[in-house]
């Protein structure tokens, strides 16, 4: 804009100079030199004005360049501040994510405390019910003891008291005889007789008291041994083959049950739907006193069969008991094994709530009887079981069989199973959930040695899920335990991305080796049978 104004000014001045020159020329030759001088002077003035104007413009351009440099520095500063704010927002987002996880953990702990309170309240209710059941037996025991005590009091104590009266009469006669003989024997002799009579009287009283106490104690002890002890013993003892149970025993009244956290059970959507339907069916059967179905769980080890059985019992208000083929394998005598099976079923039927009997490794107990590898002991054991369990459902007891090889089960046993559910390995989304859940849980498990988790690890859960795909929840849990243990040994106790990848690769290599050993063992076993 400024340059345009300068150019217009110069053009006007040149035009004026040309006009002046033309006017001078018209006046004559004499004035030519004079007009030329004027033109020259005008041009010099114009040039000087232009130089001055150009200098001003140069100064303004330099000033504008300084301003432009200042603006550039300001823009650079703003860019730096924007980058810093972006990084700060990233850190804040990470902290917010960590805070959300901590809040979720606190909610789970609060839920656990509520479950613990409910469990304690349930224990108190069970205690009241058990005490109410025992009160009639105690009253009966008191009445029986009272009757026997009265019998012994009339048959034993009464004769002793009568004997005491006769002895006291004899003592009175002896005292009178002593007084009559005072004139002949002297006061010293009479005093000696009196002392002897008092001593004998004291001995008789002591013997009567001790005899009465002994008789009462004997009567009460005999009643307890004959009537009370066997009932308590049968109630307290549980079958030898039961490895774990939620059924409350007398000595466990004041022990709080372990808190169940069902949020740790993560399954694929299809499996979750099947288990939800099964839970609803069992809850309905419990509510309306219907028959409980027999179930078969099959699939890879470590996929949550046992954990779900406990959760099912807890949510349905039933007791559970765990046993397995290895527990029965400890019994070498066939008669003993069959008796233990009968004891187990009788004990299960006595549960007031109803009981889920979970039999793991079912293929070792109920192998197909048509196979040449099935022993005579196993065949007889299956026959005993079939004679005791004849339907696909029954009241008070629910059988859940678990096996990795369902095709090995005897056909007669599978005919008594109404529902079968396959436990599949978790998918990518389930692997990611399981990994994040257990990593956070284990990092805060030891209050004296807490372990931090880096932001890089928190952002890479999906990557780890790809590496863990094909592993069972039990294997993933084991791997995360190893990650936390290694991180705890290295200061500053933070789980880093390199550590996670290294532990996962080593664990996968070890698991692959174990799978190969299992395949080799099966091939060797089959070759031995051939």
Parse the chain into domains and list their residue ranges: 2-99, 130-240, 250-424, 429-529
Lowest mean pLDDT among 326-335, 404-413, 420-429, 433-442: 326-335
d(CA 14, CA 49): 13
Helix (H), strand (E) at residue 320: strand 319-324
HSE value, Cβ hemisphere, 13 Å, CA-based, for 274: 14
From the CB of residue 462, how many other CB atoms can be counted at a distance below 10 Å?
13
Lowest mean pLDDT among 48-57, 315-324, 376-385, 496-505: 48-57
pLDDT, residue 93, reads 60
The predicted model gives 249-256 an average pLDDT of 48
The predicted model gives 120-142 an average pLDDT of 62
The proportion of the chain whose per-residue pLDDT surpasses 90, expressed as a percent, equals 35
Strands (E), 124-213: none
**pLDDT, tens digit, for every residue of 19-74?**
455 545 544 444 455 556 655 666 667 677 777 777 777 777 677 767 676 667 76
Q: Is the pLDDT of residue 328 over 50?
A: yes
pLDDT, residue 372, reads 78
pLDDT, residue 494, reads 92
Give the residue among 322, 226, 260 at the shortest CA–CA distance from 116: 260
The distance of Cα 162 from the centroid of its chain, to the nearest Å, equals 72
d(CA 520, CA 176): 106
pLDDT, residue 377, reads 83
Q: Residue 248, exposed/middle/buried by CB under 10 A (0-12, 13-18, 19+)? A: buried
Helices 473-489 and 497-529: angle between axes, nearest 10 degrees = 140
pLDDT, residue 352, reads 87
pLDDT, residue 150, reads 63
d(CA 93, CA 96): 5
- 241: CB partners within 8 A, 6+ apart: 323, 327, 328, 331, 340, 344
**pLDDT, tens digit, for every residue of 497-517?**
999 999 999 998 988 888 888
Pairing of strands 419-423, 295-299: parallel
Q: Is the pLDDT of residue 233 over 60?
A: no
d(CA 306, CA 326): 15
pLDDT, residue 347, reads 92
Q: pLDDT: is 403 or 529 the higher one?
A: 403
The predicted model gives 86-99 an average pLDDT of 58
d(CA 118, CA 354): 19
CATH classification code of 250-424: 3.40.50.300
Q: Is the pLDDT of residue 255 over 50?
A: no
Q: pLDDT: is 119 or 29 the higher one?
A: 119
From the CB of residue 83, how many other CB atoms can be counted at a distance below 10 Å?
10
pLDDT, residue 92, reads 53
pLDDT, residue 519, reads 79
Q: Are 306 and 358 in contact (CB under 8 A)?
A: yes
pLDDT, residue 448, reads 84
Give the residue among 436, 401, 421, 424 at the shortest CA–CA distance from 267: 424
Q: pLDDT: is 352 or 224 the higher one?
A: 352
Question: Rounded mean pLDDT of the chain?
Answer: 76
Give the residue among 364, 430, 348 at the shortest CA–CA distance from 397: 348
Q: Is the pLDDT of residue 381 over 60?
A: yes
Q: pLDDT: is 90 or 325 the higher one?
A: 325
- 191: CB partners within 8 A, 6+ apart: none
Q: Are 452 and 446 in contact (CB under 8 A)?
A: no
> Please, what's the largest Cα pairwise distance for the chain?
211
DSSP conformation class of 330: T
Q: Are 393 and 286 in contact (CB under 8 A)?
A: no
Residues comprising the chain, all counted: 530
324 phi, psi to nearest 5 deg: -160, 170
Helix (H), strand (E) at residue 348: helix 334-349
């Amino acid at each position: 804009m400024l340059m345009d104004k300068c150019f217009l000014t110069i053009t006007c001045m040149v035009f004026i100079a040309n006009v002046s020159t033309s006017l001078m020329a018209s006046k004559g030759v004499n004035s030519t030199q004079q007009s030329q001088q004027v033109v020259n002077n005008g041009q010099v003035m114009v040039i000087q004005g232009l130089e001055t104007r150009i200098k001003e413009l140069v100064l303004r351009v330099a000033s504008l360049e300084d301003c432009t440099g200042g603006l550039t520095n300001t823009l650079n500063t703003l860019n730096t501040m924007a980058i810093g704010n972006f990084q700060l927002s990233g850190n804040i987002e990470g902290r917010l994510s960590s805070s959300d996880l901590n809040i979720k953990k606190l909610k789970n702990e609060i839920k656990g405390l509520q479950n613990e309170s409910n469990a304690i309240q349930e224990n108190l209710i069970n205690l009241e019910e058990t005490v109410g059941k025992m009160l009639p037996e105690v009253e009966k025991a008191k009445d029986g003891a009272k009757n026997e005590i009265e019998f012994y009091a009339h048959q034993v104590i009464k004769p002793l008291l009568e004997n005491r009266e006769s002895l006291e009469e004899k003592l009175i006669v002896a005292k009178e005889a002593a007084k009559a003989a005072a004139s002949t024997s002297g006061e010293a002799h009479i005093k000696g007789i009196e002392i002897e009579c008092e001593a004998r009287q004291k001995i008789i009283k002591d013997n009567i008291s001790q005899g009465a106490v002994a008789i009462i104690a004997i009567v009460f002890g005999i009643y307890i041994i004959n009537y009370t002890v066997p009932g308590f013993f049968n109630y307290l003892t549980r079958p030898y083959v039961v490895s774990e149970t939620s059924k409350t025993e007398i000595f466990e009244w004041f022990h709080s049950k372990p808190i169940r956290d069902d949020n740790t059970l993560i399954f694929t959507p299809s499996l979750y739907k099947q288990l939800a339907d099964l839970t609803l069916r069992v809850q309905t059967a419990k509510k309306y006193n219907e028959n409980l179905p027999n179930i078969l769980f099959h699939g890879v080890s470590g996929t949550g069969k046992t954990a779900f059985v406990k959760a099912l019992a807890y949510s349905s208000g039933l007791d559970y008991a765990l046993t397995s083929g290895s527990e029965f394998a400890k019994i070498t005598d066939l008669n003993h094994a069959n008796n233990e099976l009968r004891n187990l079923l009788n004990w299960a039927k006595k549960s007031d709530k109803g009981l889920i009997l979970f039999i793991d490794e079912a293929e070792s107990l109920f192998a197909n009887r048509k196979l040449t590898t099935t022993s005579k002991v196993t065949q007889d054991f299956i026959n005993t079981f079939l004679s005791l369990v004849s339907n696909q459902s029954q009241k008070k007891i629910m059988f859940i069989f678990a096996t990795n090889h369902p095709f090995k089960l005897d056909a007669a046993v599978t005919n008594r199973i109404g529902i079968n559910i396959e436990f599949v390995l978790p998918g990518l989304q389930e692997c990611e959930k399981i990994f994040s859940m257990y990593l956070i849980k284990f990092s805060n498990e030891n209050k004296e040695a807490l372990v931090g988790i880096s932001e890089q690890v928190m952002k890479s859960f999906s990557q780890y899920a790809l590496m863990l795909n094909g592993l069972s929840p039990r294997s993933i849990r084991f791997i995360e335990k190893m990650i936390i243990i290694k991180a705890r040994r290295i200061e500053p106790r933070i789980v880093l991305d390199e550590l996670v990848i290294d532990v996962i690769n080593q664990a996968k290599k070890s698991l692959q080796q174990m799978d190969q050993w299992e395949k080799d063992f099966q091939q060797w076993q089959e070759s031995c049978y051939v």
